A and B are shown apart, each in its own frame.
Chain A
Amino acid sequence: MKIVVCVKQVPDTAGGVKFNPDGTLDRGAMLTIMNPDDKAGLEAALRLKDQYGAEVTVVTMGLPKAEEVLREAMAMGADKGVLVTDRVLGGADTWATSTTLAGAIRNLEYDLIITGRQAIDGDTAQVGPQISEHLNIPVISYAQDIKIEGDSVVVERQYEDRYHVVKAKMPCLITALSELNEPRYMTPGGIFDAYKQEITVWGRADLKDVDDSNLGLKGSPTKIAKASDKVRKGAGEKVSLDPDESVSYIVDKLKVKHVI
């Protein structure tokens, strides 16, 4: 079985994030990580590899620096890494991004494509389903469990108040929730090996069946009219009192605000 996993390098928004005095995000303090939902997707692929045997190829689109997440994925156990990077691909919205990734994946053999549900920087959850549409294969979004049965996948597909057990013939694309699993750590041997391996680097010319008019900023149907950091209302009062005084403080505030 051949599995392609799409991953994205994103700024880390979890933990230790501080705001500037004007209420905006202090970006300087942020490191980059492998997007959490994508990491869950990679872990799901590696578990399928452990269980059934599979070749796992990790694909990312981004700046040359995004090679880091491919090395991390390979240190976790992925077999190959493909970096899609080119100036003309910059500024892509989800349409142009999915067109690019589909153009790269057309060069690869695959039974299964796994993407994270969404990235923590854009939060759109659009790229996975859009790739599946470009490749004309079924999509199962929001997977909370994945099994292989012969030439099909059986997936628990999560909704707000239920889940569906869904069966699809491969090839198929699945979007993974970070709840799906607890990703494994890189192993020292894996890290060592990951840095010995070649990473495939593809540019615009390597994308298959893709029109220039659908790539990058120019090929993006959505255009940003305005962007700004959100200004929060800011902190209110903060008190440090003994428990009884704390209780009186809260009760007083609820009274003043006519909650009680």
Chain B
Amino acid sequence: MNLEEYKGVYVFAQQVDNEISSIAFELLGKAKDLAKDLNTDVTAVLIGSGVKGLADQLAEYGADKVIVVDDPELKDYRTEPYAHALASVINKYKPEIMLVGATAIGRDLGPRVSARVATGLTADCTVLEIGDFPLQAVPGQEQLHNQLLMTRPAFGGNTIATIACPYNRPQMATVRAGVMQKITPIKGAKANVEEFNPGFTPDNKYVEILDIVKAVTNTVDIMDAKILVSGGRGVGSPENFKILEDLAEVLGGTVSCSRAVVDSGWKPKDLQVGQTGKTVRPNVYFAIGISGAIQHVAGMEESDIIIAINKDADAPIFDVADYGVVGDLNKIVPKLTEALKAEIAAAK
């Protein structure tokens, strides 16, 4: 592998139902920073069926070039045709960096493609930067410059590792949604659009989609909420979430929950905060009846203010809470809602 041949920062521009996913714009924002440090440009790889018209949007969010792989086989996401498309783009265009969203699509596509092109893949990165490997010069080992340094949490967020992929290309990373910043779109920006079709021949790896069942969409995404009122198993029942909903309503917030609540079938998965749910960073996070397993904490510890209410004084949630209240949520939460109503009415 001649590493020098590999140039440019590439982003997999995920689309679903021919609508570009927010993560694609976030990745373009980060790709622009990396490309600046490397003195190179940003390419978006757009894969789907009838998607060419989406290229301008990618340009507005920072893509200098868009490679479009458009084929009827690519209508809905399936691992094989998408992996074939992306791996073929990598083999032909030789990017030095390939970024993929750590979504339900990207976490399937990324590993399959990385294995096919025989390179490393670092999952769920939270920081990407250009630097040296090894970080400090070591006698007897060549220090490589302009490497992608990928930082990620592991162990439920309790350890942080910085990883490089010094001897293989492309350097591949998946990045969680909501971590990188989009740029302010540049209206009217145009990218250099190039179409590429590697040919698709269905074989045993092309699975058949028999049905697509969309979940009832919850209108508010908890990742966008400024105030989250989050409940755990301690809330006691699905009905009792009413007192959390009332509190959220007074503050203009949204209800979210812990994994235990989803596992019990009380709330849908898209409201779940934590390692296997969503990472949130609201201005205020109420953790109500949540013990604070580290998998949960990993998804909410970056919140500006954390307020915990729990009857167990030893609950680990108090280790991360700014303000911890030991007490019975059934007594405190309804009264808190009433008190806040009065405060807000008085302020008007």
Contacts and interface: CB of A to CB of B under 8 A. Distances in A.
Contacts, number: 273
B123 A239 contact: no
A260 B313 contact: no
Interface string B135-173: 100000000000001000111111111111111100000
B89 interface: no
B120 A220 contact: yes
B319 A19 contact: yes
A215 to B, nearest CB: 14
Given A95-B120, A122-B154, A248-B339, A164 B114 contact: no
Given A125-B107, A232-B319, A241 B325 contact: yes
Nearest to A25: B158
A123 B135 contact: no
B293 interface: yes
Contact of B215 (A161, A179, A237): A161
Interface residues of A, number: 85
30 contacts: A13-B155, A95-B121, A120-B156, A123-B155, A129-B79, A129-B108, A138-B204, A142-B104, A159-B105, A163-B215, A165-B210, A165-B211, A168-B208, A221-B120, A221-B165, A222-B163, A224-B162, A225-B135, A227-B161, A230-B158, A233-B301, A234-B319, A235-B321, A238-B313, A238-B318, A239-B326, A243-B331, A246-B309, A247-B339, A260-B347
B295 to A, nearest CB: 7
A19 B215 CA distance: 38
B153 A230 contact: yes
B209 A138 contact: no
Nearest to B157: A230
Interface string A90-125: 000111001000000000000000000000111111
B207 A221 contact: no
A134 interface: yes
Interface stretch (A47-55, A195-203, A251-259): A251-259
A223 interface: yes
B305 interface: yes
Q: Which residue among B111, B149, B263 has the maximum number of chain A CB atoms within 10 Å of its CB?
A: B111
Contacts of A130: 111-112, 114-115
A18 to B, nearest CB: 7
State the majority secondary structure of interface residues on A.
mixed
A246 B110 contact: no
A242 B119 CA distance: 59
B164 A124 contact: no
A212 B234 CA distance: 52
Given A13-B156, A15-B293, A126 B110 contact: yes
A141 B78 CA distance: 10
B316 A17 contact: yes
Contacts of B336: 246-247, 250-251
B129 to A, nearest CB: 11
State the majority secondary structure of interface residues on B.
mixed
Nearest to B338: A247
Contacts of B313: 238, 240
Interface in B55-69: none
A161 B159 contact: no
Contacts of A259: 227, 251, 283-284, 305
A13 B251 contact: no
Contacts of B165: 221-223
B205 A229 contact: no
- A-B pairs, top 5 by smallest CB distance, nearest first, are A221-B120, A133-B115, A222-B120, A238-B324, A236-B322
A139 interface: yes
Interface in B208-255: 208-215, 217, 227, 251
B320 interface: yes
A169 interface: yes
Interface of A: 11, 13-15, 17-19, 24-25, 93-95, 98, 120-130, 132-134, 136-142, 154, 158-169, 178-179, 220-230, 232-244, 246-251, 253-255, 257, 259-260
B124 A239 contact: no
B325 A239 contact: yes
Given A17-B294, A160-B104, 13 more contacts: A14-B295, A17-B316, A25-B155, A95-B120, A95-B121, A98-B115, A126-B110, A126-B123, A129-B112, A164-B209, A230-B158, A254-B284, A255-B343
B175 to A, nearest CB: 13
B210 A123 contact: no
Nearest to A120: B156
Nearest to B211: A165
Contacts of A221: 118-120, 165, 167-168
B193 to A, nearest CB: 28
Contacts of A257: 284, 305
A95 to B, nearest CB: 6
Interface string B177-209: 000000000000000000000000000111111
Contact of B293 (A14, A178, A253): A14
